[in-house]
């Protein structure tokens, strides 16, 4: 179950070493091994660094590599990834770029398909960035993750477009808290300072239970784990990990963690964990605690791995066992142990992708834009 992680960086672990530890601990959770086995696996070399790489463990490497390999089966001839329309979609492709870039940071070879996806985005970026602040922020995040130095201008333009969307009344970027968090991540990922007013907008929209809702509603029961976990990552990326809002948000996440270690979209009885919610929670926890051996990270990571299908993809829930593109897109950065924003070259931060099922009747999904929409469950 969720333990409140330390909000300091006192562990002294580098991001690279933390990711190595994370993948090894994930493998141990799948094998049912304990800390003794892990400590042996992390025997140090002569230089004092762990001799294992993120893909040194066959089990952990297989989990991440299989997920990345399955994702590539969803890539079209034009380099794009298929959205809900059945054709290549810039939103889904931006999500895929971020996921593949996270896999690359963990040592998975995806350079050629990642480059093809970025080339597809090059042709779509002008129109896509104009569709909303969240979309502009996601585009910037995709280019940051992909390492496209040639797209510095696009990143700057997209970031400026997103910043200009701030609501004069609420202070929120875009149409709600989900958009707002994406813009904060894009700003922080590109080295820009997140303003006090952007943080204040989150203070005004945090529910009494510590959660945030994707549209900014503070009505009781409106908050969800996905938006809350994304906001935690945005606050950490902005250098606000010690803000009281973060501790309150973690308290909310405790209320949606099932006995299995997985996370549900919202509080319910019984709790029904899903891959998307669990992946975002893993990233939020990793963003706060660079020590991957912490019980909260190990429990949640093991629960996420349990959603992986034999194909390498992830299912949304056990009751919806089909291979799910958006669950897989969300799971890959979490499997890699990298929170948002993902930045090429290795950082402590990355961006959200797919959205979850809210109940057995409805599902919150991402279509061509980044705003959740209600759709009938498959």
Rounded CA separation 326/71 (Å): 10
> Angle formed by the axes of helices 152-163 and 111-129, to 10°?
40
198-208 pLDDT per residue, tens: 999 999 999 99
Q: What's the rounded Cα separation, in Å, for the pair 355 and 336?
A: 19
CA distance 321 to 283: 23
How far lies 80's CA from each of 90, 142, 284, in Å? Answer: 7, 13, 28
Q: How confident is the model at residue 155 (pLDDT cuts 50, 70, 90)?
A: confident
CB 44 within 8 A of CB 51: yes
pLDDT digits (tens, 9 = 90+) for 332-368: 999 999 999 999 986 433 322 222 222 222 222 222 3
Q: Which pLDDT tens digit goes with each residue over 213-229?
A: 999 999 999 999 999 99
For the chain, the structural domain boundaries read 15-43+52-376
Burial per residue of 9-21, b for 16 or more beta-carbon CB atoms within 10 angstroms, e otherwise: eeeebebebbbbb
- CA–CA dist 279, 345 (Å, integer): 22
pLDDT at 3: 53
Q: Answer yes or no: are the C-beta atoms of 126 and 146 closer than 8 Å.
A: no
The answer for residues whose C-beta is within 8 angstroms of residue 373's C-beta and 6 or more apart is 364, 365, 366, 367
pLDDT of 99 higher than 80: yes
Condensed to tens digits (0 to 9), the pLDDT of residues 240-287 reads 999 999 999 999 999 999 999 999 999 999 999 999 999 999 999 999
> Do strands 362-366 and 372-376 pair parallel, antiparallel, or not at all (unpaired)?
antiparallel
Dist. CA 198–CA 210, nearest whole Å? 17
Confidence of residue 97 (pLDDT cuts 50, 70, 90): very high
Write the CA distances from 5 to 187, 207, 274, 297, 315, integer angstroms: 25, 21, 22, 9, 28
- What number is the average pLDDT over the span 86-99? 97
Confidence (pLDDT) at 375: 27
pLDDT at 1 over 80: no
pLDDT, position 2: 66
How high is the pLDDT of residue 298?
83
CATH 3.40.50.970 is the classification of domain 15-43+52-376: no
Per-residue pLDDT, 157:
86
Q: Are 184 and 198 in contact (CB under 8 A)?
A: yes
Q: Give the pTM.
A: 0.79
3-state SS, one letter per residue, for the chain = CCCCCCCCCCCCCCHHHHHHHHHHHHHHHHHCCCHHHHHHHCCECCCCCECCCCCCCHHHHHHHHHHHHHHHCCECCCCCEECCCCCEEHHHHHHHHHHHHHHHHCCCCCHHHHHHHHHHHHHHHHHHHCCCHHHHHHHHHHHHHHCCHHHHHHHHHHHHHHHCCCCCCCCCCCCCHHHHHHHHHHHHHCCCCCCHHHHHHHHHHCCCCCCECCCCCCCCCCCEHHHHHHHHHHHHHCCCCCCHHHHHHHHHHHHCECCCCCECCCCCCCCCCCHHHHHHHHHHHHHHCCCCCCHHHHHHHHHHHCCECCCCCECCECCECCCEHHHHHHHHHHHCCCCCCCCCCCCCCCCCCCCCECCCCEEEEECCCCCEEEEECC
**pLDDT tens for each residue of 174-198:** 999 999 999 999 999 999 999 999 9
Q: Pick the more confident residue, 51 or 209.
A: 209
pLDDT in tens, 233-252: 999 999 999 999 999 999 99
pLDDT digits (tens, 9 = 90+) for 74-92: 999 999 999 888 999 999 9
Do the Cβ atoms of 315 and 355 come closer than 8 Å?
no
Q: Which pLDDT belongs to residue 61?
A: 52
Confidence of residue 292 (pLDDT cuts 50, 70, 90): low
Give yes or no for residue 46 having a pLDDT over 60: no
Position 295 scores a pLDDT of 83
């Amino acid at each position: 179950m969720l333990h409140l992680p330390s909000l300091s960086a006192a562990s002294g672990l580098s991001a690279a070493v933390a990711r190595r530890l994370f993948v090894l601990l994930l493998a141990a959770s799948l094998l049912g091994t304990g800390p003794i086995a892990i400590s042996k696996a992390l025997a140090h070399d002569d230089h004092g660094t762990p001799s294992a790489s993120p893909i040194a463990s066959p089990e952990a490497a297989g989990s991440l590599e299989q997920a990345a390999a399955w994702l590539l089966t969803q890539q079209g001839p034009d380099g794009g990834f298929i959205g809900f329309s059945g054709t290549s979609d810039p939103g889904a492709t931006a999500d895929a770029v971020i996921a593949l870039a996270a896999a690359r940071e963990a040592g998975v070879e995806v350079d050629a398909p990642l480059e093809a996806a970025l080339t597809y985005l090059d042709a779509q970026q002008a129109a896509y960035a104009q569709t909303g602040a969240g979309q502009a922020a996601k585009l910037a995040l995709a280019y940051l993750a992909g390492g496209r130095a040639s797209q510095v201008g696009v990143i700057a333009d997209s970031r400026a477009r997103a910043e200009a969307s701030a609501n004069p009344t609420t202070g929120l970027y875009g149409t709600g808290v989900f958009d707002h968090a994406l813009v904060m991540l894009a700003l922080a990922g590109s080295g820009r300072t997140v303003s006090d007013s952007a943080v204040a907008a989150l203070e005004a929209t945090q529910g009494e239970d510590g959660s945030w809702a994707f549209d900014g509603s503070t009505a009781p029961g409106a908050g969800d784990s996905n938006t809350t976990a994304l906001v935690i990552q945005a606050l950490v990326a902005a250098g606000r990990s010690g803000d009281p809002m973060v501790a309150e948000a973690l308290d909310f996440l405790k209320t949606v963690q099932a006995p299995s270690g997985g996370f549900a979209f919202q509080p319910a009885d019984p709790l029904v964990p899903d891959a998307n919610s669990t992946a975002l929670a893993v990233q939020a926890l990793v963003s706060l605690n660079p020590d991957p051996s912490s019980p909260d990270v190990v429990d949640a990571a093991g629960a996420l791995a349990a959603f992986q299908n034999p194909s390498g993809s992830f299912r949304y829930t056990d009751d919806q066992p089909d291979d799910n593109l958006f669950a897989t897109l969300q799971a890959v950065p979490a499997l890699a142990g990298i929170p948002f924003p993902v930045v090429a070259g290795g950082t402590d931060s990355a961006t959200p992708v797919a959205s979850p099922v809210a109940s057995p009747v409805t599902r919150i999904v991402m279509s061509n834009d980044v705003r959740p929409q209600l759709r009938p469950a498959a």
